[in-house]
Amino acid sequence: MSQPQFTPNDFIEVRVVEPGDDCNLYDYDPNVQGLRLLGVHRTTQPAPADHAVVPDTSPDGEDDLAVLLVSHRSTFPGCTVSARPIALLEVRRNGSQEHQVIAVPAADEGMLAVAAVEDLPEERRQAIVAFVRASLDGQEDCALLWSDAARAHQVIHEARQAARLARAKARKSGPATPAWKPLGRRVLGVRRASDTEPHTEAEHAYHQLPHRFQKYVEEYLTHDERILFAVNRPAIKSALKRTWLSAPTLQEGILFITDQQVALVTEILPPGQSNIRYGYVVHTGIPERVESAAVKSVADHVCFEVTWRAAGGEQRVAWEFPGEAADELREGVEILRGWQPVEHDRRLRRAYGPEPIEMELRDPSANNPDDTALVARHLTEALAAQLAQAERVLARALLPGWADRQKVARVFAVTDRRAVLLPDPGGNHRLKPDSYSLKHITSVEFTSSILESWLALNVLEKGKVRRVTIDIPNTAAAFQVCFTALRQQLVAVPV
């Protein structure tokens, strides 16, 4: 029996997002000049096909065209596969339509004779249909329409074309796309350099994160920030805080090294059955102040240990990871060592912070903005009186009296020199202003959640680190702006 003849136009590039079954993970080991088994990926939801996407079929890469990749063995997540569409599944519901491409890998010789869904074994075909119907979760008014490979290619072409037009329009009239967000790898059909953007491997891996973590990253990174390194930490029992009775659980998190910060973003609680997102805790410092970095073993875990320096001393932070993450974390250590000063160093270094942001002092919970007008004016005047000559306010936020432990309204401000917390001078209290020089701050922390919200400064006083925590309302978005301005300004203040 002769093998079917295919042309390059019959194939597309897809990227596997989630395997349908458990599969091995490999990496190239230069010491043995070959592949090494890193571990086993445990799939979150067994399926008769791998979940994949066609890159560059959405403007920002978040809603790329979905693919069910049918093969004899599951492919590990993040792997790029040359695939051949055999069908298109169109899901129509509530007046809208969604497409899923059914494809087979070009490298799977057992799939050479499969040109349409009908060529699949009956059991496999029924399993795919049942899986798709189950994913609709019993929704009514849903219709499944099958089309052939030609229709699949047409939909892919139209999606790519629409994505390119949307990106071109956004570049001309809309806000700039975040520098860290990849639009997709170079794929078949791309002819202009503007259709793809250069990104690091860590930035491409952004699309492999759980969607809730993608949301956290979008809220936390600035537009001009570049991700140099990232590693995921699953929820684990702590080895550092273990007692003979129990060991606390460390929630899932991601370690980021960007060109602006070293940060651990940790989930407060995993989403429950109602899919409520409880938010995250961010602990961050700047790479320019890293005194040392190392990976150290603790029982069957490893710690990514960072020491930040500031005027008057240091702060050592240890973040726990599973033992198998050691080699990957050592790569992060080498990246941080690149910031270490060397003899006769003439490399360019950042020496500037953020631009000031005009921010009104507002209570987001007030029914009428005029209710806080008087206290806002008092705090604005008090802040102006506190400023030294040529000192600039970069960002500020109102801490309403109802959210303060002392029931006193305050203003939190980040200047180009310090962080300031001033009480309402018109209030009946004896509270004094608090001021923290940026040269004494080693790292900062932030969380905003329905469970708890606070901003924390780790400040060196007499050689020891004092953690200053400011409780804030979770509705006060201005505090996150202050937090970002603070960690960005640290680089501009010499220690």
pLDDT digits (tens, 9 = 90+) for 17-66: 889 999 988 776 667 777 788 888 888 788 999 999 998 898 877 788 99
pLDDT at 373: 87
Instruction: Return the minimum-mean-pLDDT range out of 80-94, 158-172, 323-337.
Output: 158-172
pLDDT at 450: 76
For the ranges 160-169, 399-408, 478-487, the maximum mean pLDDT occurs at 478-487
Question: Higher model confidence: residue 182 or residue 143?
Answer: 143
For the ranges 133-147, 232-246, 406-420, the maximum mean pLDDT occurs at 406-420
Given a cut of 70, whether residue 244 has pLDDT beyond it is: no
Residue 31 tokens read as 């010491």
Given a cut of 60, whether residue 1 has pLDDT beyond it is: no
Cβ–Cβ < 8 Å for 302, 318: no
pLDDT at 341: 81
Instruction: Return the minimum-mean-pLDDT range out of 49-53, 57-61, 191-195, 224-228.
Output: 191-195
Q: pLDDT of 150-187, one tens digit each?
A: 999 999 999 988 888 887 776 555 555 677 776 543 33
DSSP H helices in 72-113: none
Q: pLDDT of 374-393, one tens digit each?
A: 899 999 999 999 999 999 99
pLDDT at 7: 87
Structural class in CATH, domain 209-337: mainly beta
Instruction: Return the minimum-mean-pLDDT range out of 1-15, 206-220, 425-439, 449-463.
Output: 206-220
Residue 73 and residue 78: Cα distance in Å, rounded?
15
Residue 154 and residue 105: Cα distance in Å, rounded?
19
Question: Higher model confidence: residue 445 or residue 25?
Answer: 445
CATH 2.30.29.30 at 369-492, yes or no: yes
Q: How confident is the model at residue 76 (pLDDT cuts 50, 70, 90)?
A: confident
Instruction: Return the minimum-mean-pLDDT range out of 137-146, 157-166, 227-236, 482-491.
Output: 137-146
Q: How confident is the model at residue 296 (pLDDT cuts 50, 70, 90)?
A: very high
Residue 385 tokens read as 């009186």
Residue 106 and residue 224: Cα distance in Å, rounded?
38
pLDDT at 396: 95
Residue 287 and residue 258: Cα distance in Å, rounded?
9
Cβ–Cβ < 8 Å for 294, 285: no
pLDDT at 349: 78
pLDDT at 219: 81
Instruction: Return the minimum-mean-pLDDT range out of 73-87, 133-147, 225-239.
Output: 133-147
Given a cut of 90, whether residue 356 has pLDDT beyond it is: yes
* N-to-C CA span, the chain: 76
Q: Rounded mean pLDDT of 258-282?
A: 81
Structural class in CATH, domain 8-168: alpha beta
Is residue 473 helix, strand or coil? coil
pLDDT at 2: 59
Average pLDDT, the chain: 85
Q: How many CB atoms lie within 10 A of CB 467?
A: 11
Given a cut of 80, whether residue 93 has pLDDT beyond it is: no
pLDDT at 283: 96
Q: Encode 264-328 in three state secondary structure.
A: EEEECCCCCCCCCCCCEEEEEECHHHEEEEEEEEECCEEEEEEEEEECCEEEEEEEEEEHHHHHH
Question: Higher model confidence: residue 476 or residue 467?
Answer: 467
Question: How many CA atoms within 13 Å lie on the side-chain side of 104?
Answer: 21
| Residue 248 DSSP label | P
Residue spans of the domains in the chain: they are 8-168, 209-337, 369-492
Q: How confident is the model at residue 189 (pLDDT cuts 50, 70, 90)?
A: very low
pLDDT at 282: 94
3-state helix, strand, coil in the chain (%, to 5): 25, 35, 40
Nearest CA to 221 among 235, 233, 209?
A: 209
For the ranges 157-171, 208-222, 237-251, 374-388, the maximum mean pLDDT occurs at 374-388
Cβ–Cβ < 8 Å for 113, 48: no
Give φ, ψ of 160 to 5 degrees.
-65, -45
- Two domains, one topology: 8-168 and 369-492: no
pLDDT at 191: 35
Given a cut of 90, whether residue 240 has pLDDT beyond it is: no
